[in-house]
A and B are shown apart, each in its own frame.
Chain A
Amino acid sequence: MATQETHIVDDVCVVALAGEIDMSTADDVEQWLAEAIRATSLKRLHADLSSVEFLDSSGLRALLRSKEAAVEAQVDFAVTNFSPRIERVLRTVGLYDYLTSEQAA
């Protein structure tokens, strides 16, 4: 189960995700982020993971593809507010800097 909520904070479009990002929800998450990237007129987009309890390889893949889509759309994309468990996932896969920094690779 995953849900999303989009709101604006200053000049950042924030997509707050909640629940689990795994095999069953990864496609939805990717779609939500893709839509947000397309629709926003802002130049910065954050995926707020404070309410995300679980992230596996499919979830990671969704985040990676979102980052690629953002780079193509010239939107700065970063994930924020993740739990220690999710931080560990990002560090293990060696993509912590890539995903948490707004810059492209």
Chain B
Amino acid sequence: MTAHVNELAVDVRGLRKRYGDLTAVDGIDLGIRRGEVFGLLGPNGAGKSTTVEILQGNRGRDAGEVSVLGSDPANGTRAWRSRVGIVWQDESAPAELTVHETVRHFARCYPAPRDPEEVIALVGLEAKAGSRVKALSGGQRRRLDVALGVIGDPELLLLDEPTTGFDPAARRRFWDLIRLLADEGTTILLTTHYLQEAEALADRLAVVARGRVVAEGEPAALRERYGTGATVEWTEADGTARRERTDTPTRTVAELTHRFDGEIPGLLVTRPTLEDVYLRLTGQEDAR
């Protein structure tokens, strides 16, 4: 790989972007290490896409320092573009060309592309290589988009909500593909509003809400740090369901054992899931 091994692949400090009266990004800091899969998680409108577009060099910013592979994306050169792969939210491959023609053509734009056949196989479109793009299903088009994102053999791959609209099976296949790319050493930044996706793929993630990073770390660490306490549920003798949040669930259960003198009807002790943590962090707790 390139010389600066210790340098961050993406280094963002104090990033801000406003659209008129709306502050989309309100002081975001991000540090993504080389070879890492980093998840940017947050609800719609949290500023994820704006952030990624700034990293792509497709949008200007109002304030902050941004370095992507050592360059400011705002003045990204052709050489810089050849090292960054982009997969957008919406499909954009011309309808009348075949998968093979499309991938081959994009390969020609890069100085050291991967083998088109290999990339088509990588995204699982071998059987569709000769089909026109317009004949592909939604999931297959997304796979083609990924193929176009990685054809230049990028050091960094930026994926903006790549699995929106996928059925569960297609989403699983897509995850396998991302893992494969990560195993090959590609640094990956992906945005998603699916918590499960971030948990399944990301080495580290940042939770974004209202244009700010509200939490950052490894998925398990986030759960540990923010997911304190537990919920104890049981049923009273008269049949009413009870629910209590506590930091000391063992003591609560002990008290209940004493009171019921044995088995506690309908006992359930739950630790918060990452989803609970996420909803609390993004201020959407009421949504449950």
Are A and B part of the same complex?
no
